[in-house]
Amino acid sequence: MEQNQDLFADDHASLGQLVDRLDQIPASELTAKWPKALSELVDVLACELVRGGMGPEQAKAQARKLALVQAHYMGGRAYYIPTGDHLKAALRDRAIWDEFNGRNIDQLARKHGLSVPQTYAVVAEQRKLSRLAHQMTLPFSNG
């Protein structure tokens, strides 16, 4: 990650000066000039920041800064943002593993909208991942 930050260092320093000035412009004046897509991005980011415990006004200010930075680096071109289905499935699978007690497959299947065989497959895969995470890799092993 540090290497990626170095790629943006010069550009990001000058952008940072602009971002820091956002707090000096009244919010109504600022957002009135933003395209609808950026305003919607601000709303999404602010909602998540509030959910994470930040105060609503601070969250909105931080969301505007984040949206400006994202617009600077990614704006002006068609940019595909994945829906996050794979990440959500991985998080769901981890939740199933965390909640699994050996006797609650039916309950977990209902809770997560899966069939019982799918839930068994998730538990088996998570068990395998857990085992791999806790096993030491020997220096002479192939994996």
Reported as a single tens digit per residue, the pLDDT across 64-116 is 999 988 888 888 888 787 888 999 999 999 999 999 999 999 999 999 999 99
The 10 Å Cβ neighbour count of residue 140 is 5
Structure tokens at 112: 């997560």
Reported as a single tens digit per residue, the pLDDT across 2-42 is 555 554 555 767 787 778 777 777 777 777 778 888 889 99
Tell the burial category of 108 from Cβ atoms under 10 Å away from its Cβ (0-12, 13-18, 19+): buried
The 10 Å Cβ neighbour count of residue 63 is 21
Rounded-to-integer distance, Cα 102 and Cα 82, Å: 34
Rounded-to-integer distance, Cα 60 and Cα 30, Å: 12
Hey, what domains does the chain have and what are their CATH numbers? 9-74 (no CATH), 84-136 (1.10.10.60)
Tell the burial category of 59 from Cβ atoms under 10 Å away from its Cβ (0-12, 13-18, 19+): buried
- The pTM for the full model equals 0.61
Q: What is the largest CA-CA distance in the chain?
A: 64
